[in-house]
Each structure stands twice: as C-alpha cells, then as structure tokens.
Amino acid sequence: MSPSPMFVIRRSLLILVLVGLLGLGAELIAVGHWYAPGQLIPFIAIGGTVIVSVLYLTFERPWTTMFLRVVAVLLVLTGLLGALQHGRAESGLRAAGRADESGAATAANAKPMFGLAPASPSLLNGPAPLSAPLAMSGLGILLFLSLYGREQETRRAER
C-alpha cells in the first residue's frame, strides 16, 4: 500500500524544516554565535528539534507527535525572543562602532550590480540581524503546520 499524498507532504515539510534548521545552525556557527550564555539558546532549540524530529520519523506515535508540536511552539517562541534580543542589541552595537559588520560591501569598494546601490546596514542586515531569529520562528510555524490534522488522518487510516 503506497503512502497517502498527505503523508508524503507532511514528511517533505518535516525534512524541509530539518534542512532549514541545520542551515541556520551552520550560519550561527559561522558567525560565532556563542559569546554569551543566551546566544546558546538557538543551538539548544535546533538540537532539541532535530532529536524530536528523528524520534518522530522513527517512531510515529501520539507522544512523538505531541513532542514535535511542543518543539514547534518552542521554535516560534525562541525565534521571537531572539528577534527581541537582536532588536535591543542592534542600537548598542551601532553605538559601539560595529554597524559595518553586516557583511554588506562598503560604499567605497562596492560595485553596483544591475544598477542597484549596495545595501546599507539596517535592522535586517546589520550586526544583529532580525532575519535569523525570524527564520527560526518561520521554521517552527512550518513544522507546526506539517502536523496539522495528523490525528484525523490516523483515525481514518485505522478504520
């Protein structure tokens, strides 16, 4: 018996979330995101989600589904907390003269591409960008959505 299309979609979304989280973790490692204990929170959230996801993929039971929903909500909350922390840290880092640490080319050595000016450091791409924590929240929402209606599908399959 072949798996239902919804089963394939759910698994695909879960694998997409895992790939996204591993990429996010690699980015955090690349930028050295461990200067303070609070900066380890995303690593813990990513590690916990990966462990629970592997459990879910291995033993798809009601308790693993519940744990996966819990870590999905925790991912969303971790991302929102990170966005708050990044928003607070941005002004302090700019005041300390670290506004040019965005990785964007400076105006002096930048070559415009397609006639567009280089991006100037902002809240989205400055020294404490909002993009990473908001990506974590987005992956948490996607993970939660991948489990939507799972119980109804299980009940229908049992009949």
Lowest-pLDDT range of 2-11, 20-29, 98-107, 130-139: 98-107
Q: What is the pLDDT of residue 104?
A: 45
Q: How many domains does the chain have?
A: 1
Q: Identify any residues that bridge with 113 across adjacent strands, giving them in sequence order.
A: 116
State the pLDDT confidence band at 124, using cuts at 50, 70 and 90.
Answer: low
SS3 149: coil
Do residues 41 and 77 make contact, with C-beta atoms less than 8 angstroms apart?
Answer: no
State the pLDDT confidence band at 102, using cuts at 50, 70 and 90.
Answer: very low
DSSP 20: H
Burial class (CB in 10 A: 0-12, 13-18, 19+), 127: buried
**Its pTM surpasses 0.85:** no
In which domain, by residue range, is 126 found?
Answer: 5-99+120-158
Give the Cα separation of 142 and 122 in Å (integer).
Answer: 27
Which of 4-13, 39-48, 114-123, 128-137 is the most confident on average?
39-48
- Domain assignment present for residue 30? The answer is yes
